[in-house]
Chains A and B, each alone.
Chain A
Amino acid sequence: QQQVKQSPQSLIVQKGGISIINCAYENTAFDYFPWYQQFPGKGPALLIAIRPDVSEKKEGRFTISFNKSAKQFSLHIMDSQPGDSATYFCAASGNYGQNFVFGPGTRLSVLP
């Protein structure tokens, strides 16, 4: 019940295309859903986050879609760029930001 499932494991997209990464959770106590971006040799960095009271959040080219009834959320990267090539982790937490659980990660490659 504490797991967060993430797919796909890897993703190859052409420059200018849309990258979509999906996550699913079981624990209905989760109330905060961030996405992290990690480049080689660096720690994960917060990209965008959403709470379950909204169904969508957009920041620049990055959008989170959230489906509370299906217990699913996804990251959309519009107009993908080679600089977006990184590993993306979805996560979930509850209880005032404690007990973060991370998905296994998606390695995104954007071809020039």
Chain B
Amino acid sequence: KAGVTQTPRYLIKTRGQQVTLSCSPISGHRSVSWYQQTPGQGLQFLFEYFSETQRNKGNFPGRFSGRQFSNSRSEMNVSTLELGDSALYLCASSWGNSPLHFGNGTRLTVT
């Protein structure tokens, strides 16, 4: 089985721009979660989608949003980028009570 695939691997954006990140979960996994990883804050939960519905949401501003498609693929969008949004964004998929399976992330740099 293919693992969780995240694209692109690297992104450089300018402050004020917006960005869309993509995640393809493991086949059969219906839950997709997004995390922000920074050296100072560790792994911070952004949101989780299940069957195209946002099931849980972390404590991030409304500039961070996401969606899930009928094939379980997910996208997250960050609008009006700030320098502090520079981070590794990780997507993880799971099925039922299974553990999270992470992709290798998208490294976003905001200049």
Q: Which residues of A contact B (CB under 8 A)?
A: 32, 34, 36, 41-46, 49, 89, 96-105
What are the residues of chain A within 8 A of B35 when measuring CB–CB?
102
Least CB distance, B107 to chain A, in whole angstroms = 9
B90 near A44 (CB under 8 angstroms)?
yes
Chain B interface helix/strand/loop/mixed: strand
Q: Which residues of B contact A (CB under 8 A)?
A: 4, 31, 33, 35, 42-43, 45, 48, 55-56, 90, 92, 94, 96-105
Task: Sample 15 A-B pairs with CB under 8 A, ordered by A number.
Answer: A32-B97, A32-B99, A34-B100, A43-B92, A44-B90, A97-B96, A97-B97, A98-B48, A98-B56, A100-B33, A100-B100, A101-B45, A102-B43, A104-B42, A105-B42
Task: Please measure, in the bound complex, the distance between the C-alpha atom of A61 and the C-alpha atom of B102, giving whole angstroms.
Answer: 23
A43 near B102 (CB under 8 angstroms)?
yes
What are the residues of chain B within 8 A of A97 when measuring CB–CB?
31, 94, 96-99
